Structure 1
């Protein structure tokens, strides 16, 4: 017995894809760098220190006196000796004038004139302490600094970006089909 048969034939569809990849280009140009640092303004004012050393008295202790000082001292000593001599002669004259009061003024005057004065032996430290005078006035330094700001003219460059999008092309390589047939 012949039974009818159903026969089906199908063909699958085939799709073809043509892909063009996207292209992306990125470039980063270097920044334009322009930095300047002006010098700081520096002002300095100084007052000099003063040191004075007076050795006049120390030199005088060593008998190294100036001619002016030596002349002054000799004049003063001479005046004192002259005054002492006048006073001594006045006293001797008064004693001779009062000879009637007794005593022997002429013999005592002669014995006083004939004696040499005793000289003393002393130890003297030369120069004497405190004979050198030192005076010091310290100096002063005034420093003023005026800072200068940095001049920044730098420029950042934007990136260069080129983008070509990709493409996809779709095409049917094989159309689908279906064939139905009866076999008897």
Structure 2
């Protein structure tokens, strides 16, 4: 005997997910910097050294004398020669007064005309020991003032782009029931 059979066939539903991943972009721009270094301030002051040379005596040795000194020397020389002349005249007068003792006028004249012969020699002038020298040293003073750098820095915010992810449902397979009778 054939009994009818009931045949049931089911198909389950399949649910699928479609996922769009999120996108995140982060960019950090570099900081904006402006750095300036002012130059240092340098101040210098000097005192000049002084060298003083007095060559008056050396110049006098080579007969380069000032007018005041030459006038003083000429006045002294004139005074000395006047005194020598007066003394010589007095001595000649004394000798002439003693003519009776055998002195003659020719002897007096001979004494006044005989002069010693001048020496002719080479003479070096400009004795360095006569050079008077004085020296005062100079000085150098420096003052340096440094300047601080000028730093201008601006921090830039990060650039952040974010695209949100998305999940959507997709029905990949619908459920079904098939009922069948077999005889």
Query: TM-score scaled to structure 2, two decimals?
Result: 0.68
Structure-1 residue corresponding to 2:143: 144
Q: Displacement, 1:77? A: 1.5
Structure-2 residue corresponding to 1:60: 60
Ranges in structure 1 where 5+ consecutive residues have no aligned partner: 1-6
Structure-2 residue corresponding to 1:21: 21
Ranges in structure 2 where 5+ consecutive residues have no aligned partner: 1-6
CA distance in 2 between counterparts of 1:105 and 1:159 reads: 137
Give matches, 1:25-174, under 5 Å.
25-88=25-88, 104=103, 109-174=108-173
CA RMSD of aligned residues (A): 4.1
CA distance in 2 between counterparts of 1:145 and 1:106 reads: 93
- Pair 72,21 (structure 1): closer, same or farther in 2 beyond 3 Å: same
- Pair 14,119 (structure 1): closer, same or farther in 2 beyond 3 Å: same
Q: Displacement, 1:76? A: 1.5
CA distance in 2 between counterparts of 1:86 and 1:33 reads: 104
Q: Displacement, 1:24? A: 1.4
CA distance in 2 between counterparts of 1:12 and 1:84 reads: 165
Structure-2 residue corresponding to 1:3: none
Query: TM-score scaled to structure 1, two decimals?
Result: 0.68
- Pair 108,28 (structure 1): closer, same or farther in 2 beyond 3 Å: same
Deviations 1:21-65 (A, max 9, x none): 211122333423233333432222222233334333333222222
Pick which of 68-77 and 134-143 moved more: 134-143
